[in-house]
Amino acid sequence: SAHFLAEAEVIYPSALKTKSVSTPEYETVYSAEKRTSTNPYRWKIVWRNLIAFVYLHTSALYGLYLLLTFNQVQLSTVLIGLFLGFISAEGVTAGAHRLWSHRTYSAKWPLRFLLMIAQTMAFQNHLYEWVRDHRVHHKFTDTDADPHNSRRGFFFSHMGWLLVRKHPDVKLKGQSVDMSDLEKDWVVMFQKKYYLILMPVCCFLIPALIPWYFCDETWHNSWYVSAMLRYALSLHFTWLVNSAAHIWGVKPYDKNISPTENPSVSVLTFGEGWHNYHHTFPWDYKAAELGNYKLNLTTGVIDMFARIGWAYDLKTTDPELIRKRSTRTGDGTRQEHEHSHEN
Ligand code: ST9
Ligand code: ZN
Ligand code: ZN
């Protein structure tokens, strides 16, 4: 999708300078590269993305500055930004992640449509691409085929992976991931087809228009706070799942994998920081052992839609299975819990 971009080669062994190699050719080159093992990764910066990220971060910092010099930005603008940030986060957590990537529950089309619009507001690529990358992340965690392989360091797994071409293993091994369920979902295919119109409208235009039109905010403040700052923060909170929650924290369920239990990330992502649990039991709609809404607001949102029948077939994990598994593979930090719901 991004082939028309300008790009520069940073570290790129001259022997590998072919731009688009065919699969067999690549495999030969790659295994030769692996044998010599001088440069396991080939970094090719995507300048369009780098420039866009520089603009986004400069604008977001300026938005933060406007916000901190209180008299400039209206309170209603801040509240609208927070609200839209929350809605877009649910599009990612309840939608892209727990519904479409992992099928932890089923949803009627009105809920799928709402989640799709919310996820479009989050601009983290369309659902089809997001889910494909995420399924590949789970299937090939911490290998070259993992799009945000955490072995390549904090920065790469956080945002660096969006600034360079993917490792060829991602594309090669990624082909083994079944995407037919998404291809059958008209909501997903509709978003994919119209993404280049829907995304700018939902992520930038509407969030900037609302405070300006309804609250007499200046267009300037509206743009930098409700559009830029809101978007940048939601990206960084999301990215922390791939960076921080693959580095820092305990591993009560499986000590042999990098994902951790990270309460701070859980707060910032409405429940997606219980990542050791999630990688061990990915089918659980709570993405955590416990259903505590305070540290997992997304579970509360799904439960709410379950109450009105829009979400159904919520999948969870048998406590006995969790106990056995953590005894066998955990790091010993799991507390025995009362399994009565404490919400
Ligand atoms: C963003 C995504 O931020 C964040 C995702 C985070 C995930 C977190 C998960 C944690 C759990 C949930 C947390 C919730 C948190 C809640 C929020 C709280 C506030 N499999 O990609 P291309 C093939 S996006 C199989 O162009 P390049 C495929 O054939 C931010 N095949 O590769 C494809 O063609 P097509 C905004 C794959 O050229 C072809 O390769 N967006 C796979 O290397 C080319 O693919 C951006 O910044 C695969 N996985 O470029 C733009 N992948 O698509 C980012 C690829 O036609 N993207 N293929 O089928 C790009 O510009 C480019 O993708 C690139 C790589 C430069 C990164
Ligand atoms: Zn996941
Ligand atoms: Zn992960």
What local confidence, expressed as pLDDT, does residue 196 receive? Answer: 98
Q: Whose alpha carbon is nearest atom 51 of ligand 1?
A: 162
Residue 155 belongs to some domain of the structure:
yes
Q: Kindly state the percentage of the chain with pLDDT values over 70.
A: 86
> Of 331, 317, 309, which is closest to residue 109 (Cα–Cα)?
309
Q: Answer whether residue 27 shows pLDDT above 50.
A: no
Q: Is residue 334 part of a domain?
A: no
Place of tokens 């909170």: 237
Which residues does a 6 A CB cutoff place in the pocket of ligand 1? 1-2, 46, 49, 89, 92-93, 97, 123-125, 129, 132-134, 136, 147, 162, 165-166, 170-171, 174-175, 234-235, 237-238, 241-242, 269, 272
Res 23: pLDDT = 36
Protein residue with its CA nearest to atom 27 in ligand 1: 165
Strand partners, 187: none
Residues 6+ apart with CB under 8 A from 182: 100, 127, 128, 131, 188, 189
DSSP states along 197-226: HHHIIIIIIHHHHHHHHHS---HHHIIIII
Task: Give tens-digit pLDDT for 198-227.
Answer: 999 999 999 999 999 999 999 999 999 999
Buried b (16+ CB within 10 A) or exposed e, 14-26: eeeeeeeeeeeeb
Question: In angstroms, what CA-CA distances link 311 with 79, 120, 128, 293?
Answer: 28, 20, 20, 17
- Number of domains forming the structure of the chain: 1
Rounded to an integer, the average pLDDT of 33-51 is 70
Residue 28 lies in a domain: no
Q: Does the residue 336 lie in any domain?
A: no
- Which of 11-25, 289-303, 326-340 is predicted with the least confidence, judged by mean pLDDT? 11-25
Does 338 reside within a domain? Answer: no
- For residues 298 and 270, is the Cβ–Cβ distance under 8 A? yes
Determine, yes or no, domain membership for 49: yes
What are the residues whose beta carbons fall under 8 Å from the beta carbon of 165, sequence distance 6 or more?
Answer: 7, 42, 44, 46
Is residue 139 included in any domain, yes or no?
Answer: yes
Q: Domain of residue 316: give its range.
A: 7-16+38-329
According to the model, what pLDDT value does residue 329 have?
97
Cα 14 to averaged position of ligand 1 atoms, centre (Å):
27
Calpha distance 124→131 (Å, rounded):
11
pTM: 0.89
Q: Whose CA is nearest to atom 2 of ligand 1?
A: 124
Predicted pLDDT of residue 40 = 65
Distance 201 CA to ligand 1 centre (A): 20
Is the confidence at residue 279, as pLDDT, over 80? yes
pLDDT digits (tens, 9 = 90+) for 52-94: 999 999 999 999 999 999 778 999 999 999 999 999 999 999 9
Say how far apart CA 197 and CA 189 lie, in whole Å: 14
User: What is the pLDDT, as a whole number, of residue 338?
Assistant: 54
Beta strand spans in the chain (E): 7-11, 43-46, 106-107, 311-312
Query: Which atom belonging to ligand 1 lies closest to the Cα atom of 164?
Result: 66
If you measure from the C-alpha of residue 40 to the centroid of ligand 3, how many angstroms do you get, rounded to a whole number?
22
- What's the mean pLDDT when you consider all of the chain? 88
CA nearest ligand 1 atom 18, residue = 269
Question: Is 191 a domain residue?
Answer: yes
